[in-house]
A = this chain, B = another copy of it.
């Protein structure tokens, strides 16, 4: 049942919001390689390269990786061209987006997507807690306490930090923030990549 084996992804940007075919063709030509030469280096056939470049098929990650190895180029480099522009530089206090998660509020600097860095001005009400289920995600995070006290648990370590104290850890370690006092706690944090 294939009366219309037309290209399933449309000819231009495809269904992926990222024009894999055009990107591969540009990269290949920028390196002065023919389809056949790249195919030989990559250990695939020239037909595969042709079809990918025309967006007539969507390569598997493993075959795309093989092809890029023949360039050579990493997957991250290949896709690291789609980051949106987004270039607001200055943010007035009133412009900071405020996010609320129960007794914790975050004032976020700029937008979340397309950046490698996220900066938050966080406020923890007395007793506020990010939850018993510990947080875990990629990247690193750190911060400095401005006011009040915060109890921070990272893996099997736990400390109570006060004004001027700071922290920095890999976000892959399970972690939890809790305000154990009667006073609001205020801190500024940064993390990479953004995760909220």
Q: Which of A157-190 contact B (CB under 8 A)?
A: 157, 159, 161-170, 172, 188, 190
Q: Is A77 an interface residue (CB 8 A)?
A: yes
Q: Interface on chain A toward B: helix, strand, loop, or mixed SS?
A: mixed
Q: Is A100 an interface residue (CB 8 A)?
A: no
- Out of B57, B60, B140, name the residue touching A117 (CB < 8 Å): B140
Q: Count the copies.
A: 2
Q: With CB as the reference atom, state the residue of chain B lying closest to A59.
A: B61
- Out of B57, B121, B138, name the residue touching A30 (CB < 8 Å): B138
Q: Which of A46-100 contact B (CB under 8 A)?
A: 57-66, 69, 74-84, 87-93, 96
Interface residues of A (CB under 8 A from B): 8-9, 14-18, 20, 26-27, 29-31, 57-66, 69, 74-84, 87-93, 96, 109-110, 113-117, 119, 121, 136-144, 146, 152, 154, 157, 159, 161-170, 172, 188, 190-193, 195
